Homo-oligomer: A and B are copies of this chain.
Amino acid sequence: MTYTKAWLNYEKMDDSPERICVALSETGPIADSIRRELQIAFEAMYGVAPIFADQTDKEALFVTFHCSKVHMYGEEGYLVKAVPGKITVESGGQRGLLYGMFAMLERLRMGEYAFTLAQTPSNPIRMLDHWDNLDGSIERGYSGNSFFFCNEEVTVTERIRDYARMIASVGINAVCINNVNVRGVAAELITARYRAPLVQLSRIFEAYGVKLFLSLNFASPKRIGGLDTSDPCDERVRAFWRERIADVFEGIPNFGGFVVKADSEGEPGPFAYGRTHADGANMLAEFARPYGGIVIWRCFVYNCQQDWRDTKTDRARSGYDNFIGHDGEFADNVILQIKNGPMDFQVREPVHPLFGGLKKTNMMLEVQIAQEYTGQQRHVCYLLPMFHEILNFRTFCGQESDTIADIVSGRTYGNRNCGMVAVTNTGDDENWTGHDLAAANLYGFGRLAFNTSLSAEDIARDWIRLTFGLNQKVLENVQAILMMSWPAYEKYTSPLGIGWMVTPHTHYGPDVEGYEYDRWGTYHRADHMGIGVDRTPAGTGYTAQYNEPNASMYANVETCPEELLLFFHHMPYAHVLKTGKTIIQHIYDTHFEGAEEAERMLALWRELQGLVEPASYMRTLARFENQAEHAKEWRDRINTYFHRMSWVEDEKGRKIY
C-alpha cells in the first residue's frame, strides 16, 4: 500500500550547497538513524548525498554532531547553532542529537540558514497510545486499519519504520501499540507467541528513540495463566506476573512497560478481589522495577451501569472519588494516566480535578487526537488550542508551579515518571490520518509535549509549511482553517460545555437525546425551561473536588466560565449571558454561526486548488464538503430540538424546523 510522507515530505530547495560534510562519531542504532535521515533529507532537498567525514571546504555545508555526557540540555535536549555553511548539533545523548537533527532540518526546509535552537523536552514521557486490535481493526479509529496487526498477527513492515521516523521527528519517545481493551489473543502479546515480530518491531522503534509499551489484561493469570484467580495478592498470581514480566523485559529489547485499563467499562481489575488499584498497580510495578520498567495505570474508572433516573450519582466525580484516597500509595514506577477532563474527550470539558488533587503520585495527562467526539477526522478540528488551555490551567494545588503543564512535566513535585500521552489518530490510510489536516494534531501533539510553551498558532504554521510547502496563500488559508476549526466545531455541536448529544455507539453526528436515558452517566437534563447539570454543592457536589478558588469559581454562576456553564449548572434558557444574549438565543446563534464557519472553511480550502498537490486537494475537498453539509445537520437538529422544547422563537427569525 502506498502512503504519503506527511510532514516528512522533503521538497527540493531553491539553493543547494555543493557538498555536505557531516561529522558524527557516535555509533549504534540511533546514530545510524541520524545518518539515514540526513541522507534522505539532503538528497531530497539539495540533490546532494552527505559525506560522513570530519573534513570540509568552503563550498560545503558542514554539520557537526557532538555528544557529551554532561550536556546542560540533558540526554534528550539539544543545542543547535547554525550560520551559513556551518551547523553544530549538541546534546547529552544520541536521542538529543536525533531531535536536534530533525529540528535543524525543519528550519532548513523553511529556508532559514542562521538560527539557534535550544530545547530540553518539557515532559519526560511523550507517548502515543494506539487502540489497535489484533484483528487489524482500531477502536475509535478513523483512518483505516492497524499497521501493527492483521488477522491476529503482528505485521512488521517498512511502514512502521516510516511511522517511527514521523513520530521521532516531533519528539515522541514512547508508543503503546495495542488497545487498552485487551481482548482475545491480544492477551498473548506478553507470551512467546508474538515474541519474534515484537522484537523486530521494538528494534525499529529503538533506532528512533521510542520505547515500546504493551497494554495488558489484568485477568491474564486466569485468561492465559491457567489459574483460577487474578488476585494481585495471591502468591500464584504474583509468581505468574513475576515470570511473565521478566520474560517480556528480558526477551524484548527497548521495552518500556505496560499500560493497564483495570476495573473500567467492564475490563477486569483488582476490585473483583477486594483489592485496590494501588495493590494491582504496585504488584506489576514491583516486577518491572528491576528492568527500569514502568506501569501506566488509567484512571478512567466510573459506574457505567447508571440509572438515568438517579440524579445523585455523577460520572464526573468518579475518577477523583476512586483515586484521591490512594494518593501516596502508588509505587514510584507507577504512573496514573488521567484524561484531560472528568468525562471523556468532549469538545469542551473542565480539567480533571485529580491534577490538582493528587500530590504524591506520578501523573500523565491523557488527551485524544483520534477525534472520537470532535468530528472523527471527517471534520477538521485542530485540537492544539484546547490542549494549550488545558496545560495552562492553574490548579491551585498549593505549590508555586501549579498548572497542569507544571504537574505532568514533573516541575511541581519533582517526579521523573510523568508526561503526556495521546490516544493517537493514525491508521493505514494513504494519508495516515484520514483527513489530511488531522495530521496537524499528530504533529502538534508531539511538538507540544516536547515544548509545552509553544503556541498552537506556531505549531500550526510549522506543520503547514512542512506539509504543504512555503506558499504564502496556502499558509494563510490553512492556518485560518485550523485556528477556527475547534471553535466552529464547538459552536455547531453541543452548547456551553454540556457535551454528548451524539449518536450512541458511533459517537458521530447529532442525537440530542441519544444518551439521555442510557446507562452511561452522560445527561443534559433538558426540559421546557432549561438545561444543564447542577454540579455545585447543592447538586452533585463535583465542584468541591477542585481547589479554591476554582471550586467557588465553578460553583458560582456569576464566575463560572460561560463556555462551561451548563456543565456546572442547570440554567433556564432565559438566563442572560455576558454577551447580553439569552442561553436559548446563544444556542441558535452559535449553531447558525458554526455551520457558516464550516462553509467558510470549505471556501478557504477551495481557494487552494492548484496550490496544493492534487490528490491531497481532492481528498480534503471531499471532507470539507461533507463537513459543511454535516454541520448543517448538526445545526438543524440541535436548533429544532431546543426550539420544540423551549417554544422560544429565534430573535432573527431564521428557519428552524
By a CB distance below 8 angstroms, the chain B residues around A528 are 528, 644-647
Against B, the Cβ 8 Å flags (1 = close, 0 = not) of A632-657 are 00001100110111110000000001
For A512, the chain B residues whose CB sits under 8 A away are 513
State whether the Cβ of A527 lies closer than 8 Å to any Cβ in chain B: yes
Is there contact, CB below 8 Å, between B309 and A657? yes
Q: Which residues of B contact A510 (CB under 8 A)?
A: 517
Closest to A648 in B: B528
B526 near A644 with CB under 8 A, answer yes
Q: Report the minimal beta-carbon distance from A520 to chain B, rounded to whole angstroms.
A: 14
Chain B nearest CB: distance from A655 CB in Å? 9
Q: What separation, in Å, do the CA atoms of A647 and B648 have in the docked complex?
A: 14
A529 CA to B646 CA, complexed, in Å: 10
Determine if A511 is an interface residue (Cβ-Cβ < 8 Å).
Answer: yes
Q: Which of B517, B636, B640, B641 contacts A637 (CB 8 A)?
A: B517
Asked whether, in the complex, the Cβ of A517 is within 8 Å of the Cβ of B527, the reply is no
Q: Mark A501-543, 1 if CB is under 8 A from B, else 0.
A: 0000000001111000100000000111100000000000000
Q: What are the residues of chain B within 8 A of A637 when measuring CB–CB?
A: 517
Q: Are B657 and A527 in contact (CB under 8 A)?
A: no
Cα A527 to Cα B308 in complex, Å, equals 22
Q: Would you call the interface of chain A mostly helix, strand, loop, or mixed?
A: loop
For the complex, give the distance between the alpha carbons of A636 and B517 in Å: 10
Cβ < 8 Å to B, chain A residues 283-321: 308-309
Contacts of A645 in B (CB 8 A): 527-528, 644-645
A336 to chain B, nearest CB (A): 35
Q: How far is the CA of A142 from the CA of B607 in the complex (A)?
A: 55
**A524-581 CB contacts (< 8 Å) to partner B:** 526-529
> Which residue from chain B places its CB closest to the CB of A646 in the assembled complex?
B528
Chain B residue at minimum C-beta to C-beta distance from A518: B511
Question: A636: which B residues are within 8 A, CB to CB?
Answer: 309
Chain B proximity of A207: nearest CB distance (Å): 47
Q: Which chain B residue shows the least CB distance to A643?
A: B527
Most buried by B among A308, A517, A529, A646: A517
Complex Cα–Cα for A578 and B647 (A):
28
Question: A309 CA to B308 CA in the complex, in Å?
Answer: 29
Minimum Cβ distance to chain B for residue A613 (Å): 35
Distance from A202 Cβ to chain B, minimum over Cβ atoms (Å):
41
Q: How far is the CA of A637 from the CA of B644 in the complex (A)?
A: 18
A163 and B637 alpha carbons, distance in the complex (Å): 48
- How far, in Å, is A268 (CB) from chain B's closest CB? 27
Distance in Å: Cβ of A108 to nearest Cβ of chain B: 52
Most buried by B among A529, A636, A641, A644: A644
A392 to B139: give the CA distance in the assembly, Å: 53
Say yes or no: A644 contacts B527, CB within 8 Å: yes
Q: Which residues of B contact A640 (CB under 8 A)?
A: 517
State whether B529 touches A647 (Cβ < 8 A). yes
Residue numbers in B under 8 Å from A309 (CB-CB): 636, 657
**A308 proximity list for chain B (CB < 8 A):** 657
Chain A positions 478 through 515: 1 when the CB is less than 8 Å from some CB of chain B, otherwise 0: 00000000000000000000000000000000111100
Please give the distance in Å from A650's CB to the nearest CB on chain B. 14
Query: In the bound complex, how far is the Cα of B517 from the Cα of A64, in angstroms?
Result: 64
Bound: A527/B644 CA distance, A = 4
CB-nearest residue of chain B to A526: B644
> How far does the alpha carbon of A308 sit from the alpha carbon of B511 in the complex, in Å?
13
Question: How near does chain B come to A159, taking the closest CB pair, in angstroms?
Answer: 33
**Candidates B513, B646, B647, B657; contact of A511 at CB < 8 Å:** B513
Chain B residues with Cβ below 8 Å from A529 are: 647
B contact residues around A511 at 8 Å (CB): 513, 517
A529 to chain B, nearest CB (A): 6
Candidate in A510, A527, A529, A636 with the most chain B CB atoms within 10 angstroms: A527
Q: With contacts A510-B517, A528-B647 known, what are 16 further pairs, Cβ within 8 A?
A: A309-B636, A309-B657, A512-B513, A517-B637, A526-B644, A527-B643, A527-B644, A527-B645, A527-B647, A528-B528, A528-B644, A528-B645, A528-B646, A529-B647, A644-B645, A645-B645
8 pairs, A vs B, C-beta closer than 8 Å:
A309-B657, A510-B517, A511-B513, A511-B517, A512-B513, A527-B644, A527-B647, A528-B644
